[in-house]
């Protein structure tokens, strides 16, 4: 299982271009659909916690899921697995980037990759919205957080904590009724 955690996360780390948000569709496919290690709700929770804790979202999510599966050693294997490919890729790319950084084809290729990554992230987000927006309150909270974050550039951790507090308050009010 430890080797499986390492290799699965190494695959995820090697296939992720565009940062932690771009990893979400790959994590869903690997961890939820193929391996069945976590549910979509678990993945969303791990990702939310990963955004609120210091560090890279991808590493935080790998650590949380690895820990959920096999404790400390599982977290270690998943974390090392997810960071190994990007480190190796960065070392290789850094050694040749200066020679090709001005190349017009390289610039256009990177622009195309960015557009594709945005589309993949958007599709995944819309799929996850169906799972997380279970009632009118969660829709209102989600839209409010989105609007506040876009309009006022509020740090993610504050919006997530505020949404959690509002969610708890709504839950308490519903229980009293």
Q: Using 50, 70 and 90 to split pLDDT, how confident is the model at 74?
A: very high
What pLDDT was estimated at residue 154? 82
In terms of average pLDDT, the best of 45-54, 57-66, 69-78, 100-109 is 69-78
HSE (side-chain half, CA atoms, 13 Å) at 153: 0
Using only C-alpha atoms, the chain has a radius of gyration, in whole angstroms, of 18
Q: What is the pLDDT of residue 19?
A: 65
77-86, 92-101, 153-162: lowest mean pLDDT where? 92-101
Q: Kindly state the tokens that stand for 119.
A: 């589309």
Higher pLDDT, 99 or 158: 158
Mean pLDDT of the chain: 84
pLDDT digit string (tens) for 14-66?
A: 887 666 667 778 888 888 899 888 888 888 888 778 777 777 777 888 898 89
For the four alpha carbons of 60, 61, 67 and 70, in that order, the dihedral sign comes to negative
SS3 38: coil
């Amino acid at each position: 299982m430890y080797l499986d955690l390492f290799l699965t996360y190494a695959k995820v780390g090697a296939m992720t271009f565009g940062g932690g948000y771009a990893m979400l569709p790959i994590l869903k496919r690997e961890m939820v659909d193929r391996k069945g290690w976590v549910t979509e709700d678990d993945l969303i929770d791990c990702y939310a916690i990963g955004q609120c804790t210091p560090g890279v979202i991808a590493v935080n999510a790998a650590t949380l899921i690895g820990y959920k599966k096999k404790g400390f050693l599982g977290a270690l294997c998943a974390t090392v697995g997810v960071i190994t490919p990007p480190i190796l890729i960065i070392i290789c790319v850094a050694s040749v980037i200066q020679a090709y950084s001005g190349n017009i084809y390289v610039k256009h290729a990177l622009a195309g990759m960015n557009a594709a990554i945005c589309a993949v992230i958007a599709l995944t987000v819309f799929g996850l919205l169906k799972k997380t927006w279970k009632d009118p309150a969660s829709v209102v909270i989600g839209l409010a957080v989105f609007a506040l974050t876009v309009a006022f550039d509020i740090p993610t951790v504050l919006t997530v904590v505020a949404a959690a507090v509002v969610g708890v308050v709504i839950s308490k009010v519903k229980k009293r009724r």
